[in-house]
């Protein structure tokens, strides 16, 4: 079966590269993926799949029916959106939209998802259960997964696969991670309210800028002294606004940032901890404050049984020397985690690096992807999908439960 999948994927590779380059040249921002969605739906329809557009606002779903008794869906999630970045990579197929770029590899993801559909359609082997393709918008704003879930794309789904490119993993290689893959990402806003005054007489005012500086410094210092260092937390203030003139003491400062954490218990404690730290700085100097902590997306926690299946399939496709078991999670975020609130799943790293080149990181204006990754991703996922039903004779348990009902092949 693997040999047939590989042969079809290799035959389709020139067409898949054309698809990828079209998508790269025509990027669309989060929530604006109308042309991308239409293009995706057209390719899916050409494979004989009935595509449904305008799901989750600008998403697309399609289903490959199963012929067995299994009614539970296996799902494959693919994200489609680009970033507001001016492309500086010297590509013949560079973005035709100034200021918009596929700098996170979602054009590769979309191509891989379409490639899996094309391979399975051409394979002609009936699957024991149904497969749902989820082409999601707005991953970069961490909204798209919730939009899709709100439109019931996880109804009947027993398990879900996801993929994300990684520049530090070489093209043709696969990175597998057991357990936590990414961090929870929450939004933070802090407002400091002081009293305005003349810049020459600070004792007559309450300097919101100075106090804000103390808040930032204290938060960063306190993290290292009050949190378990084996449970990492990253707090970054990325934006600060305040003041009206050089000689006027500011009476208001607004700061916004992001908070990343890996452990649920730590995440639950963070809002109260931040509030206490800010209060401890502001109150002695008479300043008022307001802390707004908005939960974002949880961390991606890969299901062990599905991850083991994916690792076995990756080793069969790539060979042992081209499969890495990743030892540490990323403090980046991925709204694939939203789907994991409804079914167990796993996401892997698809290598796109090229030996001997800089391999710029994700979200970089010179980001490039080694297109050899496309066939690797398509073959690995198609093979894992075919193997899924023979590996799990019954549905996987709900996320967070044990996998004692799952039967390994």
Single out the residue of 102, 82, 84 nearest to residue 93, CA to CA.
102
CA distance 178 to 336: 15
Examine the residue annotation and report whether 139 is marked as an active-site residue of this protein.
Answer: yes
CA distance 68 to 70: 6
Single out the residue of 257, 234, 246 nearest to residue 209, CA to CA.
246
Single out the residue of 119, 90, 148, 92 nearest to residue 16, CA to CA.
119
Examine the residue annotation and report whether 81 is marked as an active-site residue of this protein.
Answer: yes
At how many degrees (to 10) do helices 106-123 and 2-25 cross?
A: 140
Helix (H) or strand (E) segment spanning residue 112:
helix 106-123
CA distance 180 to 260: 13
33, 79, 81, 140: the catalytic one is 81
Single out the residue of 255, 165, 164 nearest to residue 209, CA to CA.
255
79, 107, 139, 311: the catalytic one is 139
- What is the SS3 assignment for 273? helix
CA distance 293 to 375: 42
**Is-contact 386 1, C-beta < 8 A?**
yes
Q: Which one-letter DSSP state was computed for residue 172?
A: T
Per-position b or e across 263-274, b if 16+ CB within 10 A of its CB: beebbeebbebb
Chain position carrying tokens 């057991």: 178
Residue partners of 207: CB distance under 8 A and separation at least 6: 194, 249, 250
- Give the catalytic positions in this structure: 81, 139
């Amino acid at each position: 079966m693997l040999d047939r999948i590989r042969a079809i994927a290799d035959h389709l590779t020139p067409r898949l590269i054309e698809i990828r380059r079209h998508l790269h040249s025509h990027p669309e921002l989060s929530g604006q993926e109308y042309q991308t969605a239409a293009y995706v739906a057209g390719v899916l329809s050409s494979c004989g799949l009935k595509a449904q557009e305008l799901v989750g606002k600008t998403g697309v779903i399609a289903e490959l029916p199963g012929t067995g008794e299994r009614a539970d869906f296996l799902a494959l999630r693919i994200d489609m959106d680009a970033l507001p970045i001016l492309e500086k990579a010297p590509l013949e197929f560079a973005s035709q939209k100034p200021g918009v770029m596929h700098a996170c590899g979602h054009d590769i993801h979309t191509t891989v998802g379409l490639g899996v559909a094309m391979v399975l359609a051409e394979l002609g082997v009936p699957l024991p259960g149904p497969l749902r393709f989820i082409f999601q918008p707005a991953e970069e704003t961490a909204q798209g997964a919730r939009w899709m879930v709100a439109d019931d794309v996880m109804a009947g789904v027993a398990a879900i696969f996801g993929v994300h490119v990684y520049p530090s993993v070489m093209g043709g290689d696969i990175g597998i991670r057991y357990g936590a893959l990414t961090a929870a990402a929450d939004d933070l806003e802090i407002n400091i309210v002081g009293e305005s005054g003349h810049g020459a007489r600070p004792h007559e005012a309450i300097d919101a800028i100075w106090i804000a500086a103390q808040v930032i410094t204290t938060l960063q210092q306190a993290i290292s002294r009050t949190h378990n260092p084996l449970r990492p937390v990253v707090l970054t203030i990325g934006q600060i606004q305040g003041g009206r003139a050089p000689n006027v003491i500011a009476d208001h400062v607004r700061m916004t940032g992001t908070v990343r954490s890996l452990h649920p218990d730590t995440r639950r404690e963070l809002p109260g901890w931040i509030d206490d730290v800010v209060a401890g700085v502001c109150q002695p100097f008479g300043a008022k404050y307001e802390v707004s902590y908005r939960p974002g997306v949880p961390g991606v926690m890969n299901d062990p049984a599905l991850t083991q299946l994916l690792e076995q399939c990756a080793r069969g496709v790539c060979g042992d020397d081209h499969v890495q078991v990743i030892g540490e999670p990323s403090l980046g975020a991925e709204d694939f985690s939203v789907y994991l609130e409804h079914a167990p799943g796993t996401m892997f790293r698809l290598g796109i690096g090229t030996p001997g080149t800089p391999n710029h990181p994700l979200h970089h204006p010179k980001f490039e992807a080694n297109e050899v990754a496309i066939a690797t991703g398509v073959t690995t996922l198609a093979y894992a999908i075919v193997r899924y039903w023979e590996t799990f004779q019954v549905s996987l348990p709900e996320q967070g439960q044990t996998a004692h009902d799952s039967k390994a092949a």
